[in-house]
Amino acid sequence: MMQKLGVCYYPEHWPEAQWSDDARRMKEAGLSLVRIGEFAWSRLEAKPGILTFYWLDRAIEVLGQAGLGVVLGTPTATPPRWMITKHPDMLPVSKDEQVRGFGSRRHYCFSHEGYLEECRRITRLLAERYGANEHVVAWQTDNEYSCHNTTLSWSPAALTGFRRWLKERYGSIEALNAAWGNVFWSMDYEDFGEIELPNLTVTEPNPAHSMDFRRFSSDQVVRFNKAQTDILREHTKAPLLHNYMGRTIDFDHFALGKDLDIATWDSYPIGFLTDRAWASEEHKAKFLRQGDPDFQAFHHDLYRAVGRGRWWVIEQQPGPVNWAPWNPAPLPGMVRLWTWEAIAHGAEAVCYFRWRQAPFAQEQMHAGLLRPDSEAAPALGEAAQVALEIANAGLMAPSDAGPAPVALVFDYEAAWACEVQPQGRDFSYFRLVFETYRALRKLGLSVDILPPDTEDLSGYKLVLAPGLVFMREGLKQAFGAFRGKAILGPRTNAKTGTFDTPVPLPPAMDGLDAVVALAESLPPGTEVPVEGGGAFRHWFEHLVQESDTVVLATTDGRPALVGGKANEAPQLNYLAGWPDAELLDRILREACVELRIETEDMPEGLRRRDHGGRTIYLNYAAETIDHNGVSIPGAGVHVADPV
Amino acid sequence: MMQKLGVCYYPEHWPEAQWSDDARRMKEAGLSLVRIGEFAWSRLEAKPGILTFYWLDRAIEVLGQAGLGVVLGTPTATPPRWMITKHPDMLPVSKDEQVRGFGSRRHYCFSHEGYLEECRRITRLLAERYGANEHVVAWQTDNEYSCHNTTLSWSPAALTGFRRWLKERYGSIEALNAAWGNVFWSMDYEDFGEIELPNLTVTEPNPAHSMDFRRFSSDQVVRFNKAQTDILREHTKAPLLHNYMGRTIDFDHFALGKDLDIATWDSYPIGFLTDRAWASEEHKAKFLRQGDPDFQAFHHDLYRAVGRGRWWVIEQQPGPVNWAPWNPAPLPGMVRLWTWEAIAHGAEAVCYFRWRQAPFAQEQMHAGLLRPDSEAAPALGEAAQVALEIANAGLMAPSDAGPAPVALVFDYEAAWACEVQPQGRDFSYFRLVFETYRALRKLGLSVDILPPDTEDLSGYKLVLAPGLVFMREGLKQAFGAFRGKAILGPRTNAKTGTFDTPVPLPPAMDGLDAVVALAESLPPGTEVPVEGGGAFRHWFEHLVQESDTVVLATTDGRPALVGGKANEAPQLNYLAGWPDAELLDRILREACVELRIETEDMPEGLRRRDHGGRTIYLNYAAETIDHNGVSIPGAGVHVADPV
Amino acid sequence: MMQKLGVCYYPEHWPEAQWSDDARRMKEAGLSLVRIGEFAWSRLEAKPGILTFYWLDRAIEVLGQAGLGVVLGTPTATPPRWMITKHPDMLPVSKDEQVRGFGSRRHYCFSHEGYLEECRRITRLLAERYGANEHVVAWQTDNEYSCHNTTLSWSPAALTGFRRWLKERYGSIEALNAAWGNVFWSMDYEDFGEIELPNLTVTEPNPAHSMDFRRFSSDQVVRFNKAQTDILREHTKAPLLHNYMGRTIDFDHFALGKDLDIATWDSYPIGFLTDRAWASEEHKAKFLRQGDPDFQAFHHDLYRAVGRGRWWVIEQQPGPVNWAPWNPAPLPGMVRLWTWEAIAHGAEAVCYFRWRQAPFAQEQMHAGLLRPDSEAAPALGEAAQVALEIANAGLMAPSDAGPAPVALVFDYEAAWACEVQPQGRDFSYFRLVFETYRALRKLGLSVDILPPDTEDLSGYKLVLAPGLVFMREGLKQAFGAFRGKAILGPRTNAKTGTFDTPVPLPPAMDGLDAVVALAESLPPGTEVPVEGGGAFRHWFEHLVQESDTVVLATTDGRPALVGGKANEAPQLNYLAGWPDAELLDRILREACVELRIETEDMPEGLRRRDHGGRTIYLNYAAETIDHNGVSIPGAGVHVADPV
């Protein structure tokens, strides 16, 4: 199987006469996939029940005849205006209880039963009509779940659903009161019908209440998606996928991904840099037209895990976008680089968003492969170049991108827990994990990301699990059986399932006798220095332990990193805080030496990824970098064949 | 005609016995105008229909008899409390749908038909009673339209009005769907009654939707004002005016100004410095007690254009105000300087706000010409000094302030377009134009501001039109016929009237063959350097062109400034981005040399304005400036007679 | 009487079997007080009228039998869920009109008559049952009035109450219109029923309107508390107290304190540092694990005044808390230091919050004297140490902590006035007074805080009254009769009771002939330098005067500090602005020399407090300080016996 390139296309935006010429130009550029349909509901069903699928029939035919494989989207992210008339209470509601109205997209609450039924209906209609269509090579459900903060909806429908969900989870109100600790401030309930959503309380609501609302909200997204996949499975054998976003953590992608065949994501490196990345202004300025050198890679690896090995970039930024706070243009070469990077991490396909820049509506400032006047935009040439390069490179299969020697556990529930109870205003689980990932990559390492229900770690030499607030039983046992080195902490196993502090105190892992006696959060600019260099920032835990297994200490003599019990396997370490880059580098470097994992120091901006026997170097810097005798131009790619 | 000074006065605030003494002291200070009445509705009509105009009769008589010309305001900016009982839905509504209640001022929605009728009624009553009164020399409508963000109201009345306005504009819902590009995210409507105001959508609404709401909202202000002027015209021959504010761009002042005879504005240099100006903290500290050296001048020139040559300052800051984030006192001399500056720009009159500082209610910390205990505040002496100086100076007519050799186009619609679609978070059309204005003034140039419906540029040597998002046909032809030099860009002609990207791509002007292939927005701290010095900030466009007319290039070799086609007139230039001060200075300086426009480098804080044959120098700095052999003290004025 | 230590305890959180062991360990640690009951309503009355007081009977018995004096709280800060069903409109409402719901605490509006009656009922039930209980040594009303911004409620109940309050205050609507100056913007009312709460107006409401709402809101808290104390007085002779918070100024603590016997407060030095103190980031970093060196002392002195000499710390931070933006752990020693500091300022008791860290609900990250697993947390040892030290020290009575030679007037109404009309965005009355307090403490001075209804100053040498916007007649006369030195200003007597600027202009005090002609507010980074060093920041008044009594002048020659009339007593000074630390130090130092008040320069972090004949030194720094031959370790205490 060879990697494919493709593009997102909106036939409904253009005169039908133009479709075949567009299809021809796509093919000429080396593209073989085209995604369509995901916002077209009002053109498929302009009035309730009045279906006009004929144009879509023809569009699929034209594109398919041109040799393009069609990815067909269900249009449920953009219900037509009449849907709101039919279901006035289907709109999502913000935390401060404002109804989020019609006029853009994603204007639905995941918990609304009536809308869910409408989605089943339109999905069934599409599946029946195109499920066996030879040109339709894959199906996409909806579009960018959770985008625009829609996972958490504070609507009447969500309240009804939440009460039902709680009743199923706890059985009796007494059990809920006990589980949440409602005795605390006389918060006991007598009936599930008394429970409200955890917003607009006088001061913070019970964190157990908030945590359950986060779990419920994620479950509703999974349920919404499954309603579509259940129907699609009845009518098609084509793989099912959804296009996830970057740094979107409000629902559990692992849980949702189980109902799909391929994980795909929308990669907007420059948009994400100004909108979603933590970095100094200096760092952002350096990578202004390239994106953060680790942000895309992190998501590639994350979604490879979500897709259980199968994943695509289904929307690849081709030029300036319109939605970030600022929208610079990519450096020449970056579209090629991003595409190569995805392939290096094992993508099966990369599709650009979008074919032709629209001259109207919300995204008219969002570049495409073509300009609005149909002239080629810079990205078209770069896409065509990659298409040729892939064809010539003879790469091995996408699945050769793994496994890596190092693994990093990522858990969406942990992210919610840290939002529910940050304890320090700027504590972000995602950031903690991402900084760990970046530290690994600066050592030239390829990384696998693991879900929290992992039960076998035997393929790895080194496993990291920072901030893993909840430790599932299976993973706990896997750590117990692990023969490599694992570095846990901070905040590991810090909460029970009902969001209590466990007694005995955390981490409460076999193989670790340390106890977290108390935790400190630290404001920006303050730190706890560690002997030998580096420091903790943001978070520091006071460890108390019986055995003498301190590996590293703070300059105040408290444990910074403790080893496991005695010298037995597993070799569990616990890190007592949030390490800065220097401390993290020291710890990881030492672990790699110990574990005989080969590292390669990466100059700023340069990254490497192993893929089968090849090593692919990606230069995110604007300037040429000379590295190990190879000169890689700014925004350039170097593929080193097996020695 | 000689320039007049005046003052704002509230007879209803003071015992009637005090009026004649106040009037006498006004006259003694050299004042000849007094504005009254604009907040007095509750004292004219304490209960619906129960009119008590007698006190106003007497106040006009007392003031008039003392030799003061009365400017009488309609009281529609402050409807009495009973009005809300009568029309509970007349209140404006904020974007987040909170009703903005009674208890301050401007508590009405421009779209409310019932309140509009009440305004017609009170205006008619006043017009009938005082329309022919010999002491009433001018009429003011309402007070500071748009102040406190009231142009945009998200009320039921506004929604009704907006739907009607859309129906009139588009005729059919199909036409609207096509014009807005509603196919984009299945946003099509079936009926005008389905359209909501463009707030509280899940993500950004269609920019065409937002833009039309901006146009509608401006039209409602114009309509509201015209309802009053139509009635006033029936009963009086006195000129009609309104008091505009500084940096208020939510409605089209040019459109509204066509129904008035004189444009007046409320000039609060120090309040505006901390509240409405862009500047470094250093700049703000330097001009803390003087105001920005260009802010007043800009508005003087803008409102001279709005008033088609006739304009006043009707509220001049006399000391600390109460409404800015911080409220320092003016340096001694500044009240005189501000007054002279207005006259230099062609003001017919300057009125101070207010006569006596009120010891009660919202503005009790707002200085007047008198202190609350009726002692003279510092401004009284400065006003009296200017009155004498004007009388002695024998200045030529206010109309001698124009025309200038250089013109700058200003378009309110362009400002809305850049708010609707900034593309970079801090993009401000007003700032772009203002920085261009400042650059001209630092070269000692007098400037005319032109409305976007200008159709003749023949009087000018140099015309600038930065950020002119919409280019009207008449102005387009005027540029085509222009024999001087015009510098357009960035964002010129970037949108069609329905807020589409035009195809062929912008700027699409005869005389320019460049095409904007894409636009980048840049975050603070980043820039695109230009060869020879200076850089673009905020915004940079990639120009593609056929001819070889690059005047300036970026250090990356892209066009920065391109010339027109060949060597024919008109000599159109297009600037590819937002120039910093250095780049702008280079370009303007070179253009002036080429066009033989004489420039004079202004030291920081010093500004000049030509008025007839005289040159007036204004020293906004706190320190003495020696300039061309003349020593001008801090906060001082120097009037250079014709050589 | 010797000082006592105690702890806050929640028997309802723990199995009954654990109570006696807990009580034993408390006693062993030297604690003799235990506060219970204040959040237990749902366990006392799980359904309306179904009372279950038996467990509380037993808890009091167990604790009392162990030798602990019980402080019993009324549970009115946490009404059970059924209360909301019974009184759906009892919830507080935020300024933007969002109902603040059930699910945390303080979910009631002080103005709701139905809930008030419920509070009377539960208080009566508790008072009847435990009023004569020998173990109950004191009663606490509610918990932390005003916490979570609940004093100001914008509910229908508050509106009803406010209208009634206004009618009582003004008698007729005409009187209110006149008092508020409603003529200003046609704001006149015809009926009290037309008046709304002063929120959501188009621009700022009448400050007189806002000020009355602040007074009303404070009165409602006092009324709410008195409803409980009136009942408690009928049934118990034990002292009544309430636990105030730090920097909580929304209600008049002096007024409320008159209905209580002891003022107690909740001292969270580290929480307050990051959440409620003004300081540079550098200062905050230096005292990150100690708290601001003056914040606790200020409140100790303030609440000593509120309690008319009798006061406790009833909640003392024992480790990291959970509610501040960041929550570091105290340095070892700080819990001891804070306790000693309270005693030095005259506390009768210090109770720690809480006994055992709860593993559930909102405060699970809030440390206690025990960890969640019942092991001793660091604070337990420090508490036990202080208990021994007190026993050994043989300190004199708590009442020996006063009087001090210097007094500082604090007025809650002045704080409201500066919030209602800051005139400069960052003007804070609390900060102004606190900075004055800090300046006195840096000179080693002990300070008394005086309420605004003080009528006798004869015990003091130096009295300071910065920012005292309202000057009551009694205090005015006291200043007139004062034989020491008083430093008034800025903003002294700046408003009448109806929030007008008084005419004659302020300060209008006998003994001062200066008049504030105008006031300037200054943005951060700007200042008015004073001759000889130091400057005004934030605020500067232009003084005009007849006599020649300028003590200090600005570098521009304006008066900075003026003396009183002639050389007669009283020696009143008026300070024309907000002094920076240098200027304040100069002025205070000079005054102390003149008044023969001994000062002692305190190194950064070191503070002293006189208590009877002893001098207690408290080292808030992390490092050892050598001072006058004594070496005091970081976080250390030194008690110097009388020489």
Is residue B526 less than 8 Å (CB to CB) from chain A?
yes
Shortest Cα distance from A6 to chain B (angstroms)?
21
Which residues 271-290 of C are in CB contact (within 8 Å) with A?
274, 281, 284-285, 288
**Which of B97, B194, B542 has the CB atom closest to A81's CB atom?**
B194
Is a pLDDT exceeding 80 seen at residue C640? yes
Minimum distance, in Å, between the CA of residue A188 and any CA atom of chain C? 7
Best of C98, C176, C184 to substitute, by most chain B Cβ atoms within 10 angstroms, is C184
Q: Name which of B13, B42, B373 is nearest C503 (Cβ-Cβ).
A: B373
Residues C242, C292, single domain; the answer is yes
CB contacts of A202 in chain C (<8 Å) are 92, 100-101, 104-107, 148, 150
Are C555 and C467 in the same domain? yes
Band of residue C106 on the pLDDT scale cut at 50, 70, 90: very high
Instruction: Give yes or no: residues C482 and C631 share one domain.
Output: no
At C582 the pLDDT is: 98
Same domain, residue pair A580 and A627: no
Per the CB < 8 A criterion, the answer to whether C530 and C550 are in contact is no
User: B46 in contact with C at a CB cutoff of 8 Å?
Assistant: yes
Residue ending a domain, choose from A212, A237, A262: A237
Q: Which two tokens stand for residue A401?
A: 């991108």
Torsion of CA A341, A344, A349, A352, to 10 degrees: 10
A99 contacts on B by Cβ (under 8 Å): 200
C58 and A CB contact within 8 Å? no
Chains that touch B (3 or more CB pairs under 8 A): A, C
| Secondary structure E strands in C4-110 | 4-8, 33-36, 45-47, 50-51, 69-73
Nearest to C78 by CA among C377, C362, C324, C346: C362
Establish if A120 belongs to a structural domain. Answer: yes
- Separation CA C542–CA B289 (nearest Å): 14
Q: DSSP readout, B246-260?
A: TT--SS-HHHHHTT-
Report the chain B residue with the minimal C-alpha distance to residue A101.
B201
User: Is any Cβ of chain A less than 8 angstroms from the Cβ of B557?
Assistant: no
A214 annotated as belonging to a binding site for a ligand: no
User: What CATH number does residue A170 fall under?
Assistant: 3.20.20.80
What pLDDT is stored for residue B564 in this prediction? 73
pLDDT at B204: 98
Is B36 a domain residue?
Answer: no
A107 with B202: Cβ contact below 8 A: yes
CB atoms B329 and C520 under 8 Å: yes
Are residues A492 and A581 both part of a single domain?
A: yes
Q: Are strands A535-544 and A577-579 parallel, antiparallel or unpaired?
A: antiparallel
B366 touches chain C (CB under 8 A): no
Q: For residue C248, name the pLDDT band (cuts at 50, 70, 90).
A: very high
What's the one-letter identity of residue A491?
R
How far is residue C568 CA from its own chain's centroid? Answer: 36
C-alpha A497/C-alpha A471 separation (Å) is 9
Chain B contact for A48, CB < 8 A? Answer: no
The per-residue pLDDT for A531 is 97
> Domain total for chain C?
3
pLDDT tens digit sequence for A415-448: 999 999 999 999 999 999 999 999 999 999 999 9
Residue A509: give its domain's CATH number: 3.40.50.880
Q: Is the pLDDT of residue C634 over 80?
A: yes
Structure confidence at residue C546 (pLDDT):
78
Within an 8 Å CB–CB cutoff, is residue A320 touching chain B? yes
Q: In Å, how far is B354's CA from the nearest CA of chain C?
A: 13
- Residue A374 placed within a domain: no
Which chain C residue shows the shortest CA-CA distance from B372?
Answer: C503
Backbone angles phi, psi at B79, to 5 degrees: -60, 140
Cβ of C329 and A186 within 8 Å? no
**Which of B83, B75, B76, B86 is CA-nearest to residue B102?**
B83
Q: How far apart are CA B101 and CA B91, in angstroms?
A: 6
Interchain CB contacts (distance < 8 Å): B and C:
163
A183 token code pair:
């005795």
CA–CA dist C59, C15 (Å, integer) = 11
A493 and A558 in a common domain: yes
pLDDT of residue B341: 98
Averaged confidence pLDDT in chain C: 96
Kindly state whether C431 is in contact with chain A, defined as any CB-CB distance less than 8 angstroms.
Answer: no
Tokens 């909200």 found at: A217
Which residue does chain C place closest to A179, by CA atoms? Answer: C360
Asked if residue A516 is part of any domain, the answer here is: yes
Q: What value does the mean pLDDT take over residues A261-266?
A: 98
Please report whether residue A459 resides in a domain: yes
C125 and C45 inside one domain = yes
Query: What is the pLDDT confidence band of residue C400, given thresholds at 50, 70 and 90?
Result: confident
Contact flag B328-C522 (C-beta cutoff 8 Å): yes
Mean pLDDT, rounded, for A467-485: 95
- Kindly give, in sequence order, each residue whose CB lies less than 8 Å from that of residue B614, ignoring residues fewer than 6 positions away: B395, B396, B639, B640, B641, B642
Query: What residues of A are in contact with residue C281 (Cβ under 8 Å)?
Result: 525
Q: What does the alpha-carbon distance between residue B527 and residue C37 come to, in Å, rounded to a whole number? A: 63
pLDDT of C469 over the 80 cut: yes
- Interface contact flag, B520 A329, Cβ < 8 Å: yes
Chain B residue numbers with beta carbons less than 8 Å from the beta carbon of C200 are 98-101
Between chains, do C203 and B148 touch, taking CB under 8 Å as contact?
A: yes
**CA torsion, ordered C575, C576, C581, C582, to nearest 10 deg:** -90
Q: Which of A104, A326, A371 sits opposite B203 (nearest CB)?
A: A104
**A106 and A200 fall within a common domain:** yes
Find the radius of gyration of the CA atoms of chain A. 25
Residue B397: the pLDDT is 81
Inter-chain touch C329–A208, beta carbons under 8 Å: no
Q: Report pLDDT digits (tens) over A174-232.
A: 999 999 999 999 999 999 999 999 999 999 999 999 999 999 999 999 999 999 999 99
The one catalytic residue in A38, A45, A118, A315 is A315
Question: Which residues of chain A are within 8 Å of residue C81 when distances are taken between CB atoms?
Answer: 187-190, 194
Question: In chain C, what residues touch A199 (CB-CB under 8 Å)?
Answer: 101
Residue A183 at interface with chain C, using a CB cutoff of 8 Å: yes
pLDDT at C643: 62
B38, B144, B382, B413: the catalytic one is B144
Probe site for chain B from A8, A78, A81 (most B CB atoms < 10 A): A81
Same domain, A540 and A630: no
Residue A500 with chain C: CB contacts under 8 Å: 359-360, 364
Check if A190 contacts C (Cβ < 8 Å).
yes
Same domain, A492 and A620: no
* Catalytic residue ranges of C: 144, 315
Question: pLDDT-derived band of residue A567, with 50, 70 and 90 as boundaries?
Answer: low
- Candidate from A12, A329, A372 with C-beta closest to B505: A372
Of B424, B500, B521, the CB nearest to A359: B500
Check A359 against B542: CB less than 8 A apart.
Answer: no
Residue in chain A lying closest to B179 (CA): A360
**Domain presence at residue B497:** yes
On the question of pLDDT at A568 being above 70, the answer is no
ipTM of the complex, rounded to two decimals: 0.97
User: Exposure of B258 by Cβ count < 10 A (0-12 exposed, 13-18 middle, 19+ buried)?
Assistant: middle
In the chain, the amino acid numbered C394 is: G
pLDDT tens-place string over residues C405-415: 999 999 999 99
CA distance C103 to chain A (A): 5
- Strand C550-553 to strand C559-562: parallel, antiparallel, or no bridges (unpaired)? antiparallel
The least confident of A7-11, A44-48, A394-398, C117-121 is A394-398
In a domain, A221, yes or no: yes
- Is C569 in the same domain as C633? no
Q: Which of A204, A425, A518 sits opposite C367 (nearest CB)?
A: A518
pLDDT band per the 50, 70, 90 thresholds, residue A503: very high
For residue C189, pLDDT over 90 is answered with yes
Last residue of a domain, one of A215, A237, A259: A237
Q: Is the pLDDT of residue C276 over 70?
A: yes
Residue A179: CB atoms within 10 Å: 19
**How many Cβ atoms sit within 10 Å of the Cβ of residue C448?**
20
Query: Chain C contacts of A420, Cβ < 8 Å?
Result: none
Say if A546 is an interface residue toward chain C (CB within 8 Å). Answer: no
**Cα B25 from Cα C433, distance rounded (Å):** 42
List own/partner pairs for C164-172 with CB under 8 A and 24 or more apart. Answer: C165/C212, C165/C216, C165/C219, C166/C192, C166/C195, C166/C212, C166/C216, C167/C192, C169/C212
Cα separation, C332 vs C379, in Å, equals 8
8 Å CB contact between C622 and C635:
yes
Q: What confidence score (pLDDT) does residue B643 get?
A: 62
Q: How far is residue C252's CA from residue C415's CA, in Å, rounded to a whole number?
A: 10
**Among C40, C99, C147, whose Cβ lies nearest the Cβ of A200?**
C99
Boundaries of domain holding B543: 406-595
Does C105 touch chain A if contact means CB atoms closer than 8 Å?
yes
On whether residue B431 sits in a domain, the answer given is: yes
Distance CA A88, CA A99 (A): 10
In this prediction, the residues of chain B whose per-residue pLDDT falls under 50 are: none
The identity of residue C314, as a single letter, is I
Q: Are A515 and A543 in contact (CB under 8 A)?
A: yes
Give chain A positions within 8 Å (CB) of C101: 196, 199-202
SS3 content of chain A, % helix, strand, coil (to 5): 35, 20, 45
> Which residue is closest to B504 within chain A, CA to CA?
A373
Give CA–CA dist A495/A628, Å, rounded: 46
C617 and C591 part of one domain = no
Average pLDDT rounded to a whole number, residues A627-632: 95
Helix, strand, coil share of chain B (percent; to 5): 35, 20, 45
Confidence of residue C320 (pLDDT cuts 50, 70, 90): very high
Interface test with A, best of B184, B427, B539 (most A CBs within 10 A): B184
